[in-house]
Amino acid sequence: MLQEFKKFAMRGSVVDLAIGVIIGAAFSKIIDSMVGDIMMPIIGRIFGGLDFSNYFIGLTKAASDQTNYEAAKKAGATLGYGQFLTVTVNFVIIAWILFLVIKAMNRLFKQEEAAPAPPAPPTKEEELLTEIRDLLKARQ
């Protein structure tokens, strides 16, 4: 059973998947930082200096009295629509980048497929037929 597991775990597709997950996690952190530290402050500035991460609706009296989202979450039930907006922007950016990457890969594969294949060498039969044709032309 241990040998079967080792064989399964060392197959190329499992290792490729593991690498993809690790790279995806690192990529996600980059996108989170880009959205949270660069894009959302710019969007907030455009809309009058708003900080979307602190937009919330307190569902309890204690949560409603708080001034920031983290304190409101600790105080009681809270709808954090600012956080939701940030995560949604995150998703749209990741989806757009993945779309562009896949589109570029598809274009690359189409170019490789479109490249003409070199002509196949003639078979013995074709060579003989060519010689016969040439000989017949030479007689005329």
| Cβ atoms of 60 and 80 closer than 8 Å | no
Query: What pLDDT does residue 25 have?
Result: 84
Query: What pLDDT does residue 102 have?
Result: 83
Q: Is residue 53 included in any domain, yes or no? A: yes
Structure tokens at 29: 């952190």
Residues 108-129: what's their mean pLDDT?
Answer: 80
Cβ-Cβ contacts under 8 Å for 54 (sequence gap 6 or more): 67, 68, 69, 82
Beta bridge partners of 102: none
Is the model's pLDDT at 11 over the cut of 80? Answer: no
Displacement of CA 68 from its chain's centroid (Å): 33
Is the model's pLDDT at 112 over the cut of 80? Answer: no
Q: Is residue 140 included in any domain, yes or no? A: no
What is the domain count for the chain?
1
Consecutive H or E run containing 92: helix 81-114
Q: 52-108 pLDDT, tens per residue?
A: 777 888 888 888 888 888 888 888 888 888 888 878 887 888 788 878 888 888 888
Query: What pLDDT does residue 15 have?
Result: 72
- Which among 83, 101, 108, 103 has a CA at the least distance from the CA of 27? 101
Q: Is residue 84 included in any domain, yes or no? A: yes
Is the model's pLDDT at 136 over the cut of 70? Answer: yes
DSSP 1-53: -HHHHHHHHTSHHHHHHHHHHHHHHHHHHHHHHIIIIIIHHHHHHHTTS--GG
| Cβ atoms of 72 and 58 closer than 8 Å | yes
Domain that holds residue 7: 2-135
Q: Is residue 83 included in any domain, yes or no? A: yes
Q: Is residue 46 included in any domain, yes or no? A: yes
Query: What pLDDT does residue 51 have?
Result: 66
pLDDT band at 12 (very low <50, low <70, confident <90, very high): low
Q: Is residue 95 included in any domain, yes or no? A: yes
Q: Is residue 31 included in any domain, yes or no? A: yes
Domain containing residue 80: CATH number: 1.10.1200.120
More confident residue, 25 or 116: 25
pLDDT band at 30 (very low <50, low <70, confident <90, very high): confident
| Cβ atoms of 65 and 58 closer than 8 Å | yes
